[in-house]
Each structure stands twice: as structure tokens, then as C-alpha cells.
Amino acid sequence: MNTRFRLRRLIIIWAIAAPLQLADASEVEPGCRTWFADHHIELTKTEKRWLCGDAGSSAWREIPVNQRIYFARNFLQDRGYHDPQFRIERSDLYITLGAQTRVQKLEVDDATNLVRWRRMRGISGEPLTPELLNGIERRAKRSLSYQGYPCSRVSSIAHPEKSSISLESELGPKVQFGSVEVEESSDSIDLLERYFAFRPHWAFDSRLLEITSQRMLQDDLFLSSYFDWRCEPNYQLRQNLMVAKPRIVTVGLGVDTEVGVFGLARWKHANLDSLASVLETSLSASFREQALALELRKYLSRKSPFYFSGRASARHENEHQYETLTYEMGGYPTTAVEFRFGRTLLSCGPLLAFTKTLEGEGPQSRRTLYWAGKLDFMSHLYEYFLGDPQEGWTLNLGLDSQFKGTLAETTAHRLKLQGQVLQNFLGWDPPFLIFGWRYNLGTFFVGKDRLRVNGLPVNQRFFLGGDADIRGFSRKEL
């Protein structure tokens, strides 16, 4: 008697609960006859069409229930729902999504262990989806290509029942840089070596290929540049290029909190002769500074990065502490040297300057012949992340010397050292926190007579303040 009573009570409770559960269901769209029983998720128009049919198409007007179940499994798997339950009530389909599967563990083999997975963000706790698996494979291949393995193969396997992912990989051979095959046939092809961020027999690093392409695009010699590599039957590196038109006109207008509205107009001939020399003229203007400049970069060889730079400019500066008008003309032999850590630019040459001080300390007018030298270092990591700063460093050393008796009234040496260091905290990928340091050191060497500094034009002295160095002070206030 007690057993029968309990069975009847269970049947009554189920009969009452089932209609209540169906009452909480939400239909995908009116008239679709496909319902989400526990909670609703948004679907795309295409997904709704595959579940609900298309009244405008006779072939897709009615979707069989079994076909709807097949489509729904794929849609839900893309969102991390791997154990949905389906119930059919006449022609209505009720879908119970269940819990979303999230990644709790990543299992890797010895080869894939070269990747710093513990520093990879966006994996643990994320929904287990095909998109996540593809992203993990891409990140693994990219990381291995940084370490000399461009031909690695990585496959991922999802284990929804364990909320885990396992990776299997084949590293392939460790590769060094060698010859480069160029897809585009052009007279400019043998000029490419001056842009290379790598050298033969260096360990392969795909980031150096991207840096090389960035340099070519910045010089406006090419519209497009990218590398790809083939691994079978033998490793081969290829560069794909699209040559740009040599003459380029650029016009820009912007607003800055320090100088107000500013504008720039530039004309550039990026392929002046058979050596791809460059001629450029630019005009820039703001409330604080107006400048007109003409620059020639004359290469002496098709492959060498060595060139002669000639420059003439006129500049008007109207700062808080001074107002000057400066005319300059000079020439600098310049060369670039590629190291494993980065690139070095070295230039040195004479500079003739005429400065007229309209307001501020110092001589009212001064004509001076300088010997200007500059040494710049930039790490490959800094150059690689130039558009999205994350890591790397720069170091810039400048020395301007004038000697009494050579179009100068006094002997003085102006030394300036500046740079920047960026550090990705704990090496997270993508970065979580980036630390940055900037330093700027400057001094004069004038011998025993310190009063000689008063004979220097005011715009050759050191001023601090503003976004460039010390924030919290107005531009060049100190």
C-alpha cells in the first residue's frame, strides 16, 4: 500500500513539474517550434534559418526534427555546450543546454612544452570551443617559429568530459636563415638586403621577417611585403612584394594638448634613381612650431645600407621661455649595422646653423658650424612591437661639437643621452601589465670657463617639461 502511494505521488509530481518546465522555455523565434528549455542564447540569422526554416524557400520551409538536432549540436558546440539534451514533443524540439564546458587543464607533450604555456592568458577558464582550439594551435606554432621551428605541426584534441585539452606536435627540423626567393620580378629586388633584419646562418625567427617587411613599407618603396615559407620537400623562404609608385603625397591634420592644432604636408620621391635614393620635403605647422625641411638620402650601393644624408631646414619656435628662428644645412654619412639583438644607426657630419633669438636669453643672432654625431640603438623586440609597445629598448646618443675659430665664438660640446625600456610583466601573452622607463640625460662640456654656456643660442640649451619628459609641468617650462 505504501509503495503504490509513493509511486502515484512521484507520477503526480512529474506531471506537474513537466508543464512548469515547458512554460519556462523560450522559443528561438515565433513560430520556430524549437525551444531552449533552461536558458536562452542568441543565434545568428543563418543559425535561426537552419533551425526554423525559411518561408521564402520551398526546400527550406520545413526543417525535419532530426536535422534540427544535428544543426543545434554544431551551434552549441561552437559556444562550449557539449552535452545538450533534446526532447521531442510532437513537432516541437526542446533543448536543454546544460552547463557550459570550460577549460580546466592543458596537457602538452615534450615538444610543445617549449612554449611558455603558463604565461599564456585566455586559455584556462575559457569556454571549450573549436575557435579556442584553433587559437591555441596558432599560438603554439607562432611561438615555435620564434625559436627556429617554422615547420612544426601542432594538433589539439578536446576532452569535454574532463574539461581539458591535449596537444600533440612535431617540431620538424631547426632552421637557419639562408637565401630568399622573391616572388615579384623588379629592378628593385637586389635592394632588399639593406632592409633585412636577419643574416645568413642566424636561427630562424619569424619576428625578424615581419620587421623586415615593416622597414620596407616605412620607406614607401613597396605597397605590400610579406614572407611565407615552404617546408616540403625542402625548406624554402619566399618574399612576396608589390612595388609602389615612387611619388607620394601625404597630408594630415590633428590636435595635441600641448601644441594645439597641427598639420603636416609631405612630398616624397621614394625611388629617385637606380639605387632607390630618396628625396623628401615636408611642411609642418602648429601654434608652437613651424618648420620647412628638404632632405636627400643618397645611397651609394644597391645592397649596402650606407647612404649620404643631406638636409636643409627652416624652423620657427615659439615656446614659453624663448622664441627663435633657425636655419640649418648639413650633410651626414650614415650607415646601419644589424646585430642579433637589434639595429644600430651611426651618422656624423657638419651642420651649419644660423639662429636668431627673437625673445629669451642668449645672443640675438649666432652663426655656428657644428660637428654633429648620432648613435642610435633599437632592439628587435622594440621594433617588432613598435605599433603596439610591449617589450624592448632604445638608446640614442647625440654629440654636437663646435670649435672656436671655425665659425664659432667658443668651444663647446653638447652631449645628450636618452632612451626607453619596456618590460612585459612576468612575460604574459597577451600582456597583462607593461612597465616602462624613460631616461634623458644632457650636459655641456665647455672646459674651465663655465660662462661660455651663455654664448650658446637659447634653443640649443636643455629644457624639460611636458609629455616628452616630465609630466605635470607645461611644455619646456623647466
Is the pLDDT reported for residue 18 higher than 60?
Answer: no
Is the pLDDT reported for residue 156 higher than 70?
Answer: yes
Q: Could you report how far apart the first and last alpha carbons of the chain are, in Å?
A: 98
Is the pLDDT reported for residue 140 higher than 60?
Answer: yes
Bridge partners for 262 per DSSP: 254
Please tell me the pTM assigned to this model: 0.84
Is the pLDDT reported for residue 17 higher than 50?
Answer: no
Confidence category of residue 186, pLDDT binned at 50, 70, 90: low
pLDDT at 132: 92
CA distance 372 to 389: 30
Confidence category of residue 379, pLDDT binned at 50, 70, 90: very high
CA quadruple 214, 217, 223, 228: dihedral sign? negative
Is the pLDDT reported for residue 357 higher than 80?
Answer: yes
pLDDT at 21: 46
pLDDT at 454: 65
Instruction: Report the share of the chain in percent with pLDDT over 90.
Output: 34
CA distance 253 to 249: 14
CA distance 320 to 288: 9
Confidence category of residue 41, pLDDT binned at 50, 70, 90: confident
Bridge partners for 419 per DSSP: 395, 439
- Residue 90 main-chain phi, psi, to 5 deg: 60, -115
Over residues 120-143, the mean pLDDT reads 91
pLDDT at 305: 87
What order do you get walking across the sheet with 180-182 strand by strand? 180-182, 236-243, 222-230
Place of cell 663646435: 402
Is the pLDDT reported for residue 478 higher than 80?
Answer: no
Other CB atoms within a 10 A radius of the CB of residue 74 amount to 11
Residue 331: CA count within 13 A, CB half-sphere? 5
Over residues 146-153, the mean pLDDT reads 90
Rg (CA), the chain: 33
Contacts from 289-295 at CB under 8 Å and sequence distance 24+? 289/259, 289/315, 289/316, 289/317, 289/318, 290/315, 290/316, 291/315, 291/316
CA distance 187 to 185: 7
pLDDT at 342: 94
CA distance 293 to 327: 10
**Between 470 and 17, the higher pLDDT residue:** 470
Average pLDDT taken over every residue of the chain: 84
Lowest mean pLDDT across 57-71, 303-317, 367-381: 57-71
Confidence category of residue 220, pLDDT binned at 50, 70, 90: confident
Contact between 305 and 212 (Cβ < 8 Å): no
Confidence category of residue 477, pLDDT binned at 50, 70, 90: low
Place of cell 607593461: 434
Is the pLDDT reported for residue 20 higher than 60?
Answer: no
Please return the burial class of 327, using the count of CB atoms within 10 Å of its CB with bins 0-12, 13-18 and 19+: middle
Is the pLDDT reported for residue 84 higher than 80?
Answer: yes
Is the pLDDT reported for residue 402 higher than 80?
Answer: yes
Over residues 387-395, the mean pLDDT reads 93
Helices (H), 334-469: 380-384
Residues in the chain: 478
pLDDT at 61: 76
Bridge partners for 158 per DSSP: 165
Over residues 373-386, the mean pLDDT reads 94
CA distance 418 to 373: 14
pLDDT at 399: 93
CA distance 296 to 448: 39
Lowest mean pLDDT across 58-72, 280-294, 344-358, 372-386: 58-72
DSSP E strand boundaries for 206-341: 222-230, 236-243, 247-256, 260-269, 278-285, 289-299, 307-318, 323-338
DSSP E strand boundaries for 380-411: 392-402
Is the pLDDT reported for residue 9 higher than 60?
Answer: no
**If you ran DSSP here, which 8-state letter would residue 438 be given?**
E
For 97-119, the pLDDT digits (tens) are 888 999 998 888 877 778 888 88
pLDDT at 285: 93
Place of cell 636618452: 418
Over residues 319-325, the mean pLDDT reads 86
pLDDT at 72: 87
Cα three-residue angle 117-122-123, rounded to 5 degrees: 55
Contact between 438 and 423 (Cβ < 8 Å): no
pLDDT at 418: 92
Is the pLDDT reported for residue 330 higher than 50?
Answer: yes
pLDDT at 449: 57
CA distance 30 to 21: 19
pLDDT at 3: 43
CA quadruple 138, 143, 149, 155: dihedral sign? negative
What is the helix (H) or strand (E) element at residue 422, kind and residue range?
strand 412-424
pLDDT at 280: 94
Is the pLDDT reported for residue 350 higher than 80?
Answer: yes
Which among 131, 211, 210, 205 is positioned nearest to 165, based on CA atoms?
Answer: 131
Confidence category of residue 14, pLDDT binned at 50, 70, 90: very low
**Between 399 and 245, the higher pLDDT residue:** 399
Place of cell 640625460: 441
Is the pLDDT reported for residue 12 higher than 50?
Answer: no
Over residues 449-469, the mean pLDDT reads 68
Which among 242, 239, 210, 206 is positioned nearest to 223, based on CA atoms?
Answer: 242
Over residues 242-265, the mean pLDDT reads 87
CA distance 404 to 370: 11
CA distance 51 to 34: 7
DSSP E strand boundaries for 178-277: 180-182, 222-230, 236-243, 247-256, 260-269
Helix, strand or coil for residue 213? helix
Cα three-residue angle 93-95-97, rounded to 5 degrees: 170
For 415-453, the pLDDT digits (tens) are 999 999 999 998 898 899 999 999 889 888 876 655 456
Place of cell 629644457: 463
Angle between helices 65-77 and 45-52 (to 10 degrees): 150
Instruction: Report the share of the chain in percent with pLDDT over 70.
Output: 89
